[in-house]
Amino acid sequence: MEQKREAAVRPVPEKTGEKPMSLKKELLGLAALLLALVVFCAVTVPVLTPKRHDYGGVWGMYRQEPENSVDVLFFGSSLAYCDIIPSVIYEETGITSFVMAGPTQPLPVTYGYLKEACKTQSPKTVWIEVTGLALKRDRSLKTNLTFMPWGTERLNLIFEEMEGSDRTGLLFPLYAYHDRWDKLSARDLKEGLLGYETDPLAGYTFLEEALPIEDFSLRKVEVTPEEYEEDAVFLGKIVEFCKERGIQPVFFLSPLPQRLDEQWMGRITEDLAALDMELVDFNDAFEEMDFTLATDFYDPRHLNYRGAEKFSRYLAKRLPEWGVSPGGLGDDELWQQRAEHFNALRDDADSRPLKLNPVKE
């Protein structure tokens, strides 16, 4: 009994080992983990995200432009980046420009592009191709936002214009592109880690194929009146932003054989007039630009390089009407290289038989 009693009162030995981690150390460990995660994302996201070199949304290359070196910015849908060649405008006038457009771009996104683009450039005029007011939104909306720099403009557009998995993928790129490891190229690694080089075409997309056009036609408009009204509000926001910055906005329609009907033309014209703005319709000078329906169009909605060069040379001659003159702040060597690059592409395409576009719209 005594032995049992002694065992019962025998003191329990103290536990040995490390002391519990202090709150300060736990917080430091968490901070280190978060920092490692941020560094991992900062390195992997640019590498895994697909690279963008043409067909609009070329933000990576646009951000390589020397700051405040661009006299004119062009915005809008594919009608802007397929139809306007900045190097041709420079050859004709010495005016520097860049096309910062996106595929099937609605006007709210154009407004966001304008605000973001003016964070690094101070253009004298901005040109907005307004066919986007009559375009039905599609999956291209995601493409417009994927390559935008991170900031308030991108985030506002993600929450206002996107929903579902598209929004999730735009907010968390690793969610969208985590499975691209086996698709990465040397160019992905180089541009993801070191960044883009300047765009040799300044936002223009070179289209070689031609679709012979038989006659002019009307473009089918699928947007509802309600959708149009929601987007047309951004005409006023663009004008207001430009006035605050001392920028001259110009709203225009690119010259094409497939056109908006009188009802839509009248509606857009009236809405711009209410803002003391005019609609510049380059279809009025179609013959003056000497287009050839058999060779100058990629399809009824886009110019190929032949037509784009004609339009760009014509536009260059008319830019002084809107008070545009060379700012003298551009890198002359860069722009000479751009002119030589386009001329080489053009001469190479001209040396081959006419390549027909198999896709008809």
Res. 137 pLDDT band, cuts 50 70 90: confident
pLDDT at residue number 12: 55
d(Cα 67, Cα 69) in Å, to the nearest integer? 6
- In the chain, the amino acid numbered 120 is T
- DSSP E strand stretches across the chain: 72-75, 97-99, 125-129, 217-218, 248-253, 258-259, 279-281, 297-299, 302-303
Backbone torsions φ then ψ of 201, nearest 5 degrees: -115, 5
Res. 94 pLDDT band, cuts 50 70 90: very high
What pLDDT, in 10s, does the model give residues 174-199? Answer: 767 867 778 888 888 788 788 899 99
pLDDT at residue number 11: 58
Produce one character per residue of 2-36: b if its CB has 16 or more CB atoms within 10 Å, e if not: eeeeeeeeeeeeeeeeeeeeeeeeeeeeeeeeeee
What pLDDT, in 10s, does the model give residues 9-24? Answer: 555 555 555 556 677 7
Output DSSP code: residue 222. Answer: -
What pLDDT, in 10s, does the model give residues 60-87? Answer: 999 999 999 999 999 999 999 999 999 9
- Name the average pLDDT for the chain: 89
Residue count of the chain: 361
Q: Are 111 and 85 in contact (CB under 8 A)?
A: no
pLDDT at residue number 19: 58
What's the mean pLDDT in 203-226? 92
Rounded percentage of the chain residues whose pLDDT exceeds 90: 67
CATH of domain 53-138+202-350: 3.40.50.1110
Q: Which residues contact 222 (CB under 8 A, 6 or more apart)?
A: 136
What's the mean pLDDT in 280-291? 95
Res. 265 pLDDT band, cuts 50 70 90: very high
The pTM (predicted TM-score) of the whole model is 0.88
Res. 135 pLDDT band, cuts 50 70 90: confident
- What are the domain boundaries of the chain? 53-138+202-350
pLDDT at residue number 193: 80
Complete edge-to-edge strand list for the sheet that includes strand 279-281: 97-99, 72-75, 125-129, 248-253, 279-281
pLDDT at residue number 360: 59
pLDDT at residue number 315: 97
Residue 254 has pLDDT above 90, yes or no: yes
Residue 40 has pLDDT above 80, yes or no: no
